[in-house]
Amino acid sequence: MNELLSLFPVLFLVYLLQCIASAPNTSEIFFLGHRMRGRRLRHALQFGRSQNKIFFLNPFLPSVGAAFVDPPPFMVRRDSAGELLGIEPSFCPASGNWRQSCSFGIPHKFTVEDTKVVVDGSPFLSVRSEEEAKRLAAFLEKIGATPPKRRSALLEKYYRNMFSIEAIDKRLGEYSRGTEMLHIACFYLFLFMFLLAPSLVFFRGLHRLWPILLAYLVVSCWLILWLYRRSHRYLYPLKHGGTLPHMIGIALSPFAAIRANDSLLTDLLAGFHPVAVARHTLPKKEFLEFAGLEMRKMKYISSDETLLQFLTEFLALEQVDLGTLFAPPALENRLSRSFCPVCLTQYVIDTGVCEDCGKIALKPFSENNREFRESSSPPLS
């Protein structure tokens, strides 16, 4: 009997493999609980040539999953007078025949190949899902068919929807209502697999209970399969196909059934900006830290003035003091001489670049800051 009970820790280790997830390096990961509040993934392993993020989901709370939120896939280009010139991909491979820009001065043909948006036969944008690629291709085609004077208004609506707290709240409300029963079923199956079943086997023996245990597993997996399919249709009514492998896994594997909620949450907030999602889901301190990082990236790394404008307006409406987001960091050491204006890492050199942020030039601390720090710090022994 003791040998049989040792099987359950092995099963739990197998279940832990189901909790390993990966995401594109450009995606922001938000862990959301049942109250739609959570935290942002800060550290992850980098894997493969594409440098995908590898991270771990909470194995004890099947309802706590990870939402992948991507930055805008394109940048808007305008001339000095503010007239729309076209768009460029935010992330474009350096090699290959990828198209580098798209002007709407002439008609274009927009098609989709897997997760790529193709313009006139050349790959232009790459996103995480085929549904997102179709939505983006339809939007770009709509811009191309719109008279030039109205194109800026369409782009403005696109960005405003991206920063809509009301739309995020509505989407999360739909998710909460549509997955309530699924969360309960997944949690009960988890308790049965790793708490109730080992206890029953220990006290009553497997030879007496195995038909009941097997029947419960089969019924639970198929109940979760039905709830998953119902929730998926409710949350993604326009998404057809692509779920069959996952549904087969739920029907055949209790481990996949316990984590059925994960795939529902992955694309739930697609189309929203990470800063807007952070405002809705993170505590205020964490939101301000993340918003400051994104603002500094926009100012010093990206050259998308349109996105910077909408991000600035969004933070102003949320009553965020924009000046504090660009303020120098508090001195951590009296030897610190400069800092990176993006990640705020401090250096003991006067000049140089931050390799982590793409060789951004360092900024020196002011003399007043250093003198204040040195006068307030105890002498080194």
Domain that holds residue 363: 338-376
Co-location of 204 and 302 in the same domain: yes
Q: Which pLDDT score, from 0 to 100, does residue 217 have?
A: 93
Do 356 and 230 lie in one domain? The reply is no
- The count of structural domains within the chain is 2
pTM for this model (two decimals): 0.86
In a domain, 37, yes or no: no
Do you know the residue count of the chain?
381
Same domain, residue pair 135 and 173: yes
Distance CA 271, CA 70 (A): 7
Q: According to the model, what pLDDT value does residue 277 have? A: 94
Whether 247 and 366 map to the same domain: the answer is no
Rounded (10°) angle between helices 148-162 and 130-145: 150
Q: Are residues 230 and 307 in the same domain?
A: yes
Burial of residue 206, with CB atoms counted within 10 A of its CB: 0-12 exposed, 13-18 middle, 19 or more buried: middle
CA atoms within 13 A of residue 127's CA, in its CB half-sphere: 23
Chain centre to alpha carbon of residue 281:
12
Residue 329 DSSP one-character state: P
Pair 117, 224 in one domain: yes
The residue whose two tokens read 């250093």 is 370
Write out the chain's pLDDT in tens, 381 residues: 555 667 888 889 999 999 999 988 889 999 987 677 888 998 888 776 667 889 999 999 999 999 999 988 888 888 877 788 888 888 766 556 788 888 888 888 999 988 889 998 889 988 888 888 888 999 999 998 888 888 888 988 999 999 999 999 999 999 999 999 999 999 999 999 999 988 888 888 777 888 888 999 999 999 999 999 999 999 998 777 678 888 999 999 999 999 999 999 999 998 899 999 999 999 999 999 999 999 998 888 877 788 888 999 999 999 998 888 888 888 888 888 889 999 899 998 888 899 888 888 999 987 545 444 444 444 433
What are 106's two structure tokens? 């002439």
CA–CA distance from 361 to each of 62, 339, 366 (Å)? Answer: 44, 9, 16
**242: helix, strand or coil:** coil
Task: Give the Å distances, CA to CA, from 353 to 196, 244, 290, 340, 350.
Answer: 57, 49, 22, 8, 10
Alpha-carbon Rg for the chain in angstroms: 25
Q: What is the pLDDT of residue 235?
A: 93
Question: Residues 139, 158: contact at Cβ < 8 Å?
Answer: yes
Q: Is residue 354 classed as helix, strand or coil in its secondary structure?
A: strand
Does 367 lie in the same domain as 239?
no
Which residue carries 């105890």 as its tokens? 378
Residues 356 and 208 occupy one common structural domain: no
Q: Which pLDDT belongs to residue 49?
A: 64
